[in-house]
Amino acid sequence: MNGKAMRHLGASAAAVFVSAIVVSSFAAGPARTMLGEAHSYHVSFLTSDGFVEAPQHDANLVNAWGLTATSTSPWWVADNGTGLSTLYDGNGVPQSLVVTVPGNPTGAVAGAGAGFIVNDGTNSGPARFLFASEDGTISGWNPGVPPPSPSHQAFVVVDSSPAGTVYKGLAIASTGAGDRLYATDFHNGRVDVFDGSFAPVVRMGAFVDPRIPTGFAPFGIRAIGGRIFVTYAKQDADQHDDVAGQGIGFVSVFDTEGTFIARVGTRGQLNSPWGIALAPTDFGRFGGDLLIGNFGDGNILAYRMTDDMRRFTPAGQLRDQGGRIISIEGLWAISFGNGAAAGGTNQLFFTAGSDHEAHGSFGRIDVAGAP
């Protein structure tokens, strides 16, 4: 969110957290039975701005939101509270490069190919990383724009602010017509699509789930396996931020042209869902499942799906070895490592806006007992 006001949370999300992570059962009665290692998970906070206890410290990491990496790079985090992107390896060690991003960045993606050109008026090159912002802009970064490399500045490539746009999420995908960029406009309740030249791609009826109630808008977004997954949250009175609460949320899936395919999740345990990730088969109990991270309560939900990504069944929530639901306050992005500088491919990394987005953290979730 921007600096004008703190987010107004719904009643179920306004519980006081004594630390950035609260692991609780959310159920009355005796303590749960200890879970086997293959069925449970362990949370490690790797880096924070100081509010959360973590081995690494970075004062720039405030309301850590978007999270992305190439096949070999370290993690790039969009720091919504400081207007920066900071980089970390799989152990949370801050890297030397810090990039200024216009506005209050939210979603982030790694660029692809020769399109999505960034220009500073003199120098140009394809965007290697792209960032959406709550200010209605999309910015791109190229290491040589401007020189010397590496550049410390991203440049605005899309400005939708005149329409009151509030971009909360960003995704990128390859299609038969070329690469496409997808941005969730929470204020206007739509998904904006751009081609490799940042020209709008308009298709009537695209990215519409006909059964989403009025007052809900696209929130998070991610491209997985030729599909575009979109989460929906309830808009506040200003249509700028979400209103959290258990059962307040939806998840739907579309093809890359925006044709509705299926509903993934409806209300239930969804609570302002934003993060989206596909677990590898060696991620313990939920290997191969679609994972959805709730911003509202910090829980991570799993959905079993058919190979064609048309049918989805709730499979549970990530729990620790004591059987308690894992809850990370202010949870935003979830994403698996790249097997290189961004950690192991079965390690789930996350960003969070701790203390109602006033602080930030970056961490990792491992299968319990994994080496």
Per-residue DSSP letter, 163: G
Counting the structural domains of the chain, the total is 1
User: What's the pLDDT tens digit per position in 282-299?
Assistant: 999 999 999 999 999 999
User: What's the pLDDT tens digit per position in 209-228?
Assistant: 999 999 999 999 999 999 99
Instruction: Tell me the whole-structure pTM to 2 decimals.
Output: 0.91
The tokens of 351 are what? 């960003």
The answer to whether position 264 is within a domain reads yes
Q: Helix, strand, or coil here: 348?
A: strand
Q: Can you give the pLDDT at residue 112?
A: 79
Domain of 159, in residue numbers: 11-367
The answer to whether position 295 is within a domain reads yes
The answer to whether position 153 is within a domain reads yes
- Cross-strand partners of 309: none
Of 212, 178, 4, 176, nearest to 191 by C-alpha is: 212
The answer to whether position 149 is within a domain reads yes
The answer to whether position 1 is within a domain reads no
User: What's the pLDDT tens digit per position in 128-156?
Assistant: 999 999 999 999 999 999 999 999 999 99
Q: Helix, strand, or coil here: 357?
A: helix
Residue 284 to residue 256: CA distance in whole angstroms: 30
Q: Is the Cβ–Cβ distance between 80 and 104 less than 8 Å? A: yes
Residue 11 reports pLDDT greater than 90: no
Q: What is the CB neighbour count within 10 angstroms for residue 73?
A: 18
User: What's the pLDDT tens digit per position in 67-90?
Assistant: 999 999 999 999 999 999 999 999
The answer to whether position 254 is within a domain reads yes
The tokens of 102 are what? 């216009």
User: What's the pLDDT tens digit per position in 163-175?
Assistant: 999 999 999 999 9
- Cross-strand partners of 141: 129
The answer to whether position 6 is within a domain reads no
The tokens of 134 are what? 């709550």
The answer to whether position 50 is within a domain reads yes
User: What's the pLDDT tens digit per position in 12-65?
Assistant: 333 333 334 333 333 333 334 456 667 899 999 999 999 999 999 999 999 999
CATH of the domain at 260: 2.120.10.30
